[in-house]
Amino acid sequence: MNPEADMRRPLSLKTLKRGLRLAARVAKAELPRLKPPLPAAPPLPGRLVEFPAFGANPGKLRMLVHEPSGGEAPGRPLIVLLHGCGQQAAGFAEASGWIGLSDRLGIPLVLPEQASSNNGGRCFQWFEPAQTARGEGEAGSIAAMTQAAITRFGSHPDRIFIAGLSAGGAMTAAMLAAYPDLFAAGAVVAGLPVGSANSAMQGLMRMASAAPVARDEAVRQAAPQDYRGAWPHLSIWQGDADDTVAPENAERLAHQWQALHGLPEAPVRDETAAGVRHRTWGDALELWTLVGMGHGYPVGDGIGHTAPFMLDRGLPATARIADFWRLTDTD
């Protein structure tokens, strides 16, 4: 792959048409008053608590926390979940199976929720530099929530994790880049590489057709200038029939993390079974590609359930991500 040649190649008519269709979809989402209200969130086990005063909130986000039904103990991990466009934070956490895992392992969940006053489609704004920079915008709010929860629950500072779907997935990648000193690992489902876009329109085009990215440069530029610590590990998930986020974005994100960790391009393991390809680069990076799956979060095998953008493929991403993060190793 020659990134410089790719950058000189003009966008195809097919790509432009896909971008326009996505733009039309988002334009409709930007008219929330014409849409019916969101359904009420389902009743959840444990406790769902809102923390209106968690600290600096430059992104004007809502902080919800799921406290596990069996209670939590100091020193446990903490998980931050970022929903996709139009989703409710609690609904996403429940349908994906993270609520069940939280209750089983006694791990609290931080559930940031986007406001329609920020974005009509209720998407995290991963495409706006002012929203992803360290200490600014939505990224600053998510980091403040995380720090508040660490203090509240006495969470282990080396076991803080973050995962997200679609726009939440792209924002997850941005958070890992801006706060490598806060998060040990993350999971991006149907997201995009760090630095893919600098505006809403460019974001739409990059969703339609992945653009070359400057390998790990964008990630390093987002981190603190003097950062010399370890980089977060990353689990990537993508359906190869996704017509909302071009599947090539997952490959480009994997290339970023390969360079960041100094990993070879060829994976250590590359296995395909039952329409699922799983590539791993040691314990720092993995990439799951689901053949024939569209845009959404994989659920199944009794973990999570179908809902909008929650797709039953018999493979529960939540359980596999928990394994990758080694959540049960010392709990």
Active site residue ranges: 166
User: What tokens appear for 107 in the block?
Assistant: 């791990």
Distance CA 195, CA 140 (A): 17
Phi, psi of 275 (to 5 degrees): 75, 15
* Bridge partner list, 64: 50, 111
Q: Are 61 and 114 a contacting pair, CB within 8 Å?
A: yes
Q: What are phi and psi of 169, to 5 degrees?
A: -70, -45
Q: Is the dihedral of CA 218, 252, 271, 176 positive or negative?
A: positive
Q: What is the per-residue DSSP string for 156-179?
A: -TT-EEEEEETHHHHHHHHHHHH-
Q: Please state, in angstroms and as integers, the Cα–Cα distance from residue 296 to each residue in 90, 101, 107, 173, 309, following that order.
A: 17, 19, 24, 17, 4
Give how far Cα 318 sits from Cα of 167, 275, 323, 325, Å. 18, 18, 9, 10
CA Rg, the chain, in Å?
A: 18
